[in-house]
Amino acid sequence: MAETRVISSLEENELPETSAMKDFLALIKIGIVNSNLITTFTGMWLAFVFTGTHFLSSLDTIIYTLLGSSFIIAGSCALNNFIDRDIDPIMERTKGRPTVTGKMSGGKVLTIGFGFITLGTILLFMTTFMAGVIGLIGIFSYVVLYTMWSKRLYVSNTIIGSISGAVPPLIGWAAVDPNLSVTAWMLFVMMFIWQPPHFYALAMKRVEEYRAAGIPMLPVVKGFKTTKNHIVAWVVLLLPIPFFMIPLGIPFVILATLFNIGWLILGIAGYKMKDDLKWAKLMFVYSLNYLTILFVAMVIFTLI
């Protein structure tokens, strides 16, 4: 049946030319793995700073944490691809995945997924018990709560999926200091609030693909006007977060506040722009830069 769906979805077009490595990297969603490594490392780095632990004296913790988090994210993404192989052929951005083209069998995908999750979980538990538990929560929330349950049923799927996307900095922090501080939880809250406006903007750009696949994303169910309102509301929720992160220093608080205000201004501008898709693209790009710059800035400001 799987092979029939693949052939049907691609019709008579030739399969895209890819290498085994490219297929593997697509399976584990290497872009997601890399972006989450930034937030995991930042959480770990800040824990080192606030506990006064020397960075170079904890190389084993660093290696276990970065590898462990990478493995559980990669494994979870592989399982996500396996579960979504029936709808991925419908969407332009996912139709080239090896689970769609048939270049990776279901058995191989499951082996990679569960194998990576097992290895990654073991590595995280080798740091602290808390880091391992948080890792398991992230896996469960992404694979079960999001992919298997809410994604195809509820418009709130993006919010539910945001739990898994927000745990990497907590994993990094807990690997060094299992007694999670307010600052650690603020990293989680920042990541959680950041994701809805980020993914809603993406969903606006891909609204017809999601509609065809039967995924009840907010723009599909409620339309662009309501989606804009939700995006702006989530950005507003980010405004007070920097003021709970004063231990990172006033310069960071100022920078984060400026970025929040900039995002809010761009969001409000969407009510006047006639091209909703152009606005969605601007919001999506801004969100990517927002996350990268602020998490890198957290590390830099603690070095100054």
What CATH number should be reported for the domain holding residue 247?
A: 1.20.120
End of a domain among 180, 212, 238? 180
DSSP string of 212-235? HHT---HHHHH-HHHHHHHHHHHH
The tens digit of pLDDT for each residue in 170-198 reads 999 999 999 999 999 999 999 999 999 99
Query: Is 295 found in the same domain as 248?
Result: yes
Query: Is 243 found in the same domain as 194?
Result: yes
Structural domain tally of the chain?
Answer: 2
In a domain? residue 114: yes
Query: Is 171 found in the same domain as 36?
Result: yes
pLDDT band of residue 15 (cuts 50, 70, 90) is: low
End of a domain among 180, 197, 212? 180
Cα 176 to Cα 124: distance, rounded to the nearest angstrom: 11
What range defines the domain where residue 217 resides?
182-304
List the one residue out of 67, 294, 91, 270 whose CA is nearest residue 193: 294
In a domain? residue 15: no
Give the CB-side neighbour count of residue 206, counting CA atoms within 13 A.
20
In a domain? residue 9: no
What is the average pLDDT value for the chain, to the nearest integer? 93
In this prediction, residue 304 carries a pLDDT of 82
Interacting residues of 57 by C-beta distance below 8 A, sequence separation 6+? none
In this prediction, residue 14 carries a pLDDT of 52
End of a domain among 180, 206, 233? 180
CATH for 39: 1.10.357.140
The tens digit of pLDDT for each residue in 95-109 reads 889 999 999 999 999
Q: Which of helix, strand or coil describes residue 135?
A: helix
The tens digit of pLDDT for each residue in 210-247 reads 999 999 999 999 999 999 999 999 999 999 999 999 99
In this prediction, residue 92 carries a pLDDT of 85
In a domain? residue 103: yes
Amino acid at 179: N
The tens digit of pLDDT for each residue in 141-167 reads 999 999 999 999 999 999 999 999 999
In a domain? residue 138: yes
Query: Is 196 found in the same domain as 63?
Result: no
Cα separation of the two ends of the chain: 58
In this prediction, residue 12 carries a pLDDT of 39
Query: Is 174 found in the same domain as 194?
Result: no
In a domain? residue 207: yes
Query: Is 102 found in the same domain as 212?
Result: no
Would the pTM count as exceeding 0.95? no
In a domain? residue 5: no
Q: For the chain, what percent of residues have pLDDT higher than 90?
A: 87
